[in-house]
Copies of this chain bind each other. A is one copy, B any other.
Amino acid sequence: MVSVARLAGVSVSTVSHVINGTRHVEPETHRRVIEAIEKTKYRQDALARAMRRNRTDSIGLIVSDAGEPAFADMVHGVEEEVARLGLTLLLANSAEDPVRESRAVEALLERRVDGLIIARASGSSETVITTLREQGAPFVLMDRLEDLDVDQVAAENAGAANALVDHLVEQGHSRILLVAGDLKVPSLRERTDAFLEAVGRNALAAADQVIVEGPVAVAEAEAAVMEALSREPRPTAVIALSTVLAAGALRACRVLGLAIPRDIAFATFDGFAYSDLFEPHITTVRQPAFQIGVTAMRLLARRLEEPDSSPTVMRLESSIEYGSSTSSRFSNPE
């Protein structure tokens, strides 16, 4: 910068003002400075700049795995809104690991992102929230909501879970296996609670329902579902609460030689990419993942503008794609 100033025969203040357009400078001087910038191949040092401005025009996004379809779409949504606002996105995966999540938060905070969007990891400790608050960092919670007075956005889980159970009951099922996974994850907990409520509302025998709680990875889900489906009387329908759990459960069905829907009905939340192209067509609850991402970024933008506005919690409606996997007519209703 000083060499630019020298070459243009002006002060560094003037160079700074030319670059940032922050005060008027004579056209002629302006031209000389621009020229000098090009000649010296000068690039602004964002670090030094951020240090003075206390802003970086960048925001951080942490999800457990941007490779999972639902998160991938949320990321796309955030990206779209970020681009529209002229900001930069720094993305990090926590791999569902609280330690990596904390590290990512620290790293992003250290890099002075202006705000953070977080889909918290399962065992995520409260210190993450505490850290954020202590630092006074604006943030919004995405997908996995807590009972906290902060900005949050996620899919409306309860209604979809209810509708799914109603659908299965209509198809004549009364013994359902719920592959619930890690109930420390708020979204899974919500879906499970709604499932239980729907079971009661439909007057299904509580003792006939099986809930597989705990598995996180595909292999764990497979093992747990194998076990659950080996007991008598066998459930006649499966609901998996996430893509990973569905993958494990499907693997278990295959190993046990259970055909879908002939031997067992199957439905899932989130589901698989391009699933319309493959058999079986699995009945799937789709959350408006892209829109959730967009909304998260909008909430954050508002928080940045009005730091003292009262927090908003938003729930976006999910929809259900019905497939042959839950059709008792053994045919594809599509």
Contact = CB atoms under 8 A, between A and B. Distances in A.
Contact of A274 (B76, B103, B272): B272
Chain multiplicity (copies): 2
A75 to B, nearest CB: 7
Nearest to A103: B88
A43 to B, nearest CB: 7
A110 B44 contact: yes
A79 B66 CA distance: 12
Contacts of A107: 46, 58, 88
A67 to B, nearest CB: 3
A298 interface: no
Contacts of A67: 66-67, 69, 72-73, 75-76
A79 B79 CA distance: 20
Contact of A90 (B41, B90, B95, B254): B90
A273 B270 CA distance: 14
A112 interface: yes
A47 B66 CA distance: 27
A277 interface: yes
A47 B112 contact: yes
Interface string A272-301: 111101111000000000000000000000
Contacts of A79: 93, 95
Contact of A92 (B51, B90, B112, B275): B90
Interface string A80-118: 000100001111110100001001100101111000000
Given A75-B67, A111-B111, A43 B251 contact: no
A19 interface: no
A58 B280 CA distance: 44
Q: How large is the interface on A (under 10, 10 to 19, 20 to 34, 35 or more residues)?
A: 35 or more
A91 B88 contact: no
Task: Count chain B CB atoms within 10 A of each CB in A67, A93, A109, A250 and give the residue with the most.
Answer: A67
A2 interface: no
Contacts of A100: 83
A225 interface: no
A31 to B, nearest CB: 23
Contacts of A88: 92, 103-104, 107
A116 B111 CA distance: 17
Interface in A318-332: none
Contacts of A72: 65-67, 72
B66 A75 contact: yes
A90 B91 contact: yes
Interface string A50-67: 110000001000000111
A213 B216 CA distance: 41
Interface of A: 41, 43-48, 50-51, 58, 65-67, 69, 72-73, 75-76, 79, 83, 88-93, 95, 100, 103-104, 107, 109-112, 134-135, 247, 250-251, 254, 272-275, 277-280
Given A247-B274, A279-B279, 18 more contacts: A44-B110, A46-B107, A46-B110, A46-B112, A47-B51, A66-B67, A67-B67, A67-B72, A88-B92, A88-B107, A90-B111, A91-B91, A91-B92, A247-B277, A251-B277, A272-B278, A275-B278, A278-B280
